[in-house]
Structure 1
Amino acid sequence: MTTPIDARRIRRPAWAGRNYTLLTSAAIVTNLGASGALIASAFAVLESGGDAGDVGLVAAARTVPLVLFLLIGGALADRLPRHRVMVAANALNCLSQAAFAVLVLTGDPQLWQMMLLTALCGTGQAFFSPASEGMLLSTVSGEQASRAFALYRMAMQSAGIGGAALGGALIAAVGPGWVLAVDAAAFAVAGSLRAFLDVGHIPRREPGGGMISDLREGWQEFISRPWLWSVVVQFAVVNAVVGAAEAVYGPLVARDSLGGPGPWGLALAAFGAGTVGGALVMMRWKPRRLLLAGSLCVFPLALPSAALALPTSAGVLMAVMFLTGISVQVFGVSWMTALHQEIPEEKFSRVSAYDWLGSIAMLPLATALAGPAESLFGRSAALWGCSGLIVLLTAAVLCVPAVRNLELRTPKPAPAEPSADVESPVGRLG
Structure 2
Amino acid sequence: MTLFASLRYPSFAFLWAGQTVSRFGDHLYRVALAWWVLEKTGSAAAMGTVLIFTSVPMLLFVLIGGVAVDRFPRAQVMFVSDLLRAAVVGITALLAFTNTLELWHILVASIVFGFVAAFFQPAYTAIIPDIVASEQRPSANSLTALSAQLTGILGPALGATIVALGGTASAFALDALSFLIAALCILPMLRLQPPEQLNARAQANPIQEFRAGLRAVVTVPWLWLTILLLALMNLTQAGPYTVSLPFLVKESLGDDVQVLGWLYSAAAFGSVIAAIWLGRKTGFHRRGIVSYLGLVVSGLATLVLGLAVPLPMLLLANVLIGASLNVFNLIWYNTLQEMVPNDLLGRVSSIDYLGSFVLLPIGYGLAGWATDLFGAAEVLFIGGVLTTLLALIGLAQPAIRKLN
So what's the TM-score if we normalise by structure 2?
Answer: 0.93
* Paired position in structure 2 for 1:116: 108
Q: Are residue 175 (structure 1) and residue 162 (structure 2) matched?
A: no
State which of 196, 203, 210 in structure 2 corresponds to 1:203: 196
Counterpart of 2:357? 360
Q: Which residue of 1 aligns with 2:275?
A: 279
Q: Does 1:399 align with 2:392?
A: no
Aligned-partner Cα distance in 1 for 2:134–2:298: 31
Match of residue 218 from structure 2: 223
Partner Cα separation in structure 2 for residue 267 and residue 36 of structure 1 = 14
Secondary structure (helix, strand or coil) at the match of 2:387 reads: helix
Asked whether the 8 Å contact 1:60–1:364 carries over to 2, the reply is: yes
Code of the aligned partner of 1:167: G
Change (3 A) 1:375 1:350: same
Is the 1:48–1:108 contact (alpha carbons within 8 Å) kept by the matching residues of 2?
no
Tell me the residue number matched to 1:249: 244
Per the alignment, residue 319 of structure 1 pairs with: 316
- For 1:137, give the aligned amino acid: P
* 1:188 and 2:180 correspond: yes
CA drift at 1:374: 2.4
Q: Which residue number in structure 2 is paired with residue 63 of structure 1?
A: 55
Maintained 8 Å contact 1:150/1:333: yes
TM-score by length of 1: 0.87
CA distance in 1, matches of 2:309, 2:107: 32
Q: Is the 8 A contact 2:149 2:268 kept in 1?
A: yes
CA distance in 2, matches of 1:44, 1:397: 38
Q: Does 1:264 align with 2:264?
A: no
Q: Which residue of 1 aligns with 2:343?
A: 346
The match for 2:334 among 334, 337, 340 is 337
After TM superposition, the structure 1 stretch with the greater mean CA deviation from structure 2, 171-180 or 303-312, is 303-312
Deviation for aligned residue 1:362: 0.9
**1-structure distance, mates of 2:88, 2:108:** 9
**CA deviation after TM superposition for structure 1 residue 273, in Å:** 1.2
Which of the pair has more CA radius of gyration? Answer: 1
Taking only the aligned residue pairs, the percentage that are identical comes to 29
Question: What's the CA shift for 1:394?
Answer: 0.5
Shift of 1:56: 0.8
Q: Give the secondary structure class of the aligned counterpart of 2:197.
A: coil
Which ranges of structure 1 fall in alignment gaps of 5 or more residues? 1-11, 408-430
Distance 2:211 2:7 in 1: 31
Give a deviation string over 1:148-183, Cα, whole Å, max 9, x none: 322332123212211122112212222222111111
Residues 1:102 and 2:94 aligned together: yes
CA displacement at 1:141 relative to structure 2 = 2.1
Q: Which runs of 5+ in 2 are unaligned?
A: none
Farther off after superposition, 160-169 or 219-228: 160-169
State the AA in 2 paired with 1:354: I
| Residues 375-394 of structure 1 deviation map (CA, whole Å, 9 limit, x = unaligned) | 44443332222111211111
Cα–Cα, structure 1 residues 86 and 365, in superposed 2: closer, same or farther, change >3 Å?
same
The 1-side partners of 2:386 and 2:192 are apart by 42
* Closer/same/farther in 2, CA of residues 245 and 173 from structure 1, 3 Å limit: farther
Letter in 2 for 1:403: I
